[in-house]
Amino acid sequence: MPLLIQNIGVDQFGLVNLALSVIILFNIVVGFGYNLSAPREVAVNQGDKSALSHLVSNVFSAKILLASVATLSILIGIFGFNLFQEYRIILALSVLLLFSEATLPLWFFQGMEKMKLISIANIFSKLLYLMGIVLFIHSPDQSQWVNFMMGVFGLIINLSLLFYIHQFLGIRFYRPEISAIVKSLRDNVLLFFSNLASHISINGGLIILSFFSVAETLGMYSLAERVVMVLRLFPALIIQAIFPNSSRLIKEDPISFFKFLKKVYLRVLVAGACLSMATYWSAPWVIRVLSRSEFKESVDYLQLLASVPFLACLNIGNVILLLVSDLKELLFRASWMMCLYMVVVSAFLTSAMGGIGLCIGIISTEVVVFLICLVLLYRHNRMLIYGFYL
């Protein structure tokens, strides 16, 4: 981030992040709920290489097909309907990130509970990306290559991981089974729309702000947002980490499941509170380090958004209860209620107060989604609420 802001300027940095926000939105289409459903399938079939091989082949085939459809949609929007005028070239070159997402085997390693390798690969990918920025990004007119390089290096690393899965884990790649792919897509429809709504609620702020502000303001806000969104990954990573084990425990020993979830939840709340407080107090220093400038507006945004990691941690227990109980319909309803609230409230507050209003809207959304999930769970299955909260 410091190198990018210094080399391409805060306004181009804002446009690069705006293009990235659009791509990440389409990445939800590419994922199509597989990032939630596939780890459970892998965990159940850990000892069956044949079943895993067919699962892996079908999931990757489906995601590559979805990436192709998403890419075509973006290119038609850019060159057919003249959309995204201000950052059309940046966005067109960013579509490689869709195929990077399609080939990412994170869901496989989650289900196998072997996250060390995927973590090392991710670090290596980011180091290559950093090297690319240092070597090739030196002026604002080169900003179009920023997301492209992220996609290239991500794709290279992901293909290497697929080679490892085949060569060392004994997973074979079969011709895709159309009927199995269609069935999985049908089964994942609710998860897809839930993920889409959650993404809009969490990451749609920059897109909303783009309707009311200039590129420089987008850059100021995106600088703070990037920091907070990285920190907000903490509760999401916790959910991904404990989901496979939770899925097994609730079937084998519900009492042990609730004890395990309570123990994790309390520790995560403490860690989330510490993370939020540290972010608030260090906000001026963080912005100064990342931008090498004194952007007071970015500091204000970051201090307001500092509570987001802790507030997001509040809902970890509810989300795990919904996932392990396979309550896709409730998750779908909660996600879209959250999305509707976020879009309406944030758009209103942003139009009235600019970036500050958007921050308030995002903070309130985290509180509202916790209450929504709690009420839906209580109305549908009170035993889950009693087992976890009492």
Residue 162 pLDDT level (bands cut at 50, 70, 90): very high
Residue 210 pLDDT level (bands cut at 50, 70, 90): confident
Using DSSP, state whether 171 is helix, strand or coil: coil
Range with the lowest mean pLDDT among 99-108, 159-168, 201-210, 310-319? 201-210
- Per DSSP, 45 falls in state T
Rounded average pLDDT over 332-337? 90
Residue 282, pLDDT > 90, answer yes
Residue 260, pLDDT > 90, answer yes
In the chain, what is the greatest distance between 2 CA atoms, to the nearest angstrom? Answer: 59
CA-closest candidate to residue 180, choices 72, 286, 73, 55: 55
> Could you identify the residue written with the tokens 């390693």?
109
> Cβ contacts of residue 108 below 8 Å, gap of 6+?
38, 39, 42, 56, 165
**Other Cβ atoms within 10 Å of 346 Cβ, number:** 23
Per-residue pLDDT reduced to its tens digit, 311-324: 999 999 999 999 88
**Other Cβ atoms within 10 Å of 321 Cβ, number:** 25
Q: How much is the mean pLDDT over the chain?
A: 91
Rounded average pLDDT over 167-171? 91
**Other Cβ atoms within 10 Å of 51 Cβ, number:** 14
Per-residue pLDDT reduced to its tens digit, 78-112: 999 988 888 999 999 999 999 999 999 999 998 88
Q: How far apart are CA 383 and CA 201, in angstroms?
A: 29
pLDDT of residue 329: 86
pLDDT of residue 218: 86
Dihedral (CA of 236, 24, 226, 142) sign? positive
State in Å, rounded, how far the first CA of the chain is from the last one. 44
- Concatenated DSSP letters of 124-150: HHHHHHHHHHHHH--SGGGGGGHHHHH
CA-closest candidate to residue 276, choices 295, 300, 303, 301: 303
Q: Cα separations (Å) of 178 from 34, 59, 72?
A: 16, 11, 21
Q: How far apart are CA 29 and CA 371, in angstroms?
A: 27
Per-residue pLDDT reduced to its tens digit, 50-88: 999 999 999 999 999 999 999 999 999 999 998 888 899
Percent of the chain at pLDDT above 70?
100
pLDDT of residue 75: 95
pLDDT of residue 229: 87
Name the more confident of 78 and 293.
78
pLDDT of residue 13: 87
pLDDT of residue 58: 94
Q: Which two tokens stand for residue 370?
A: 């916790």
Angle (nearest 5°) at CA 59 between 56 and 60: 80
Percent of the chain at pLDDT above 90?
62
pLDDT of residue 152: 96
CA-closest candidate to residue 98, choices 15, 202, 22, 16: 22
pLDDT of residue 279: 96
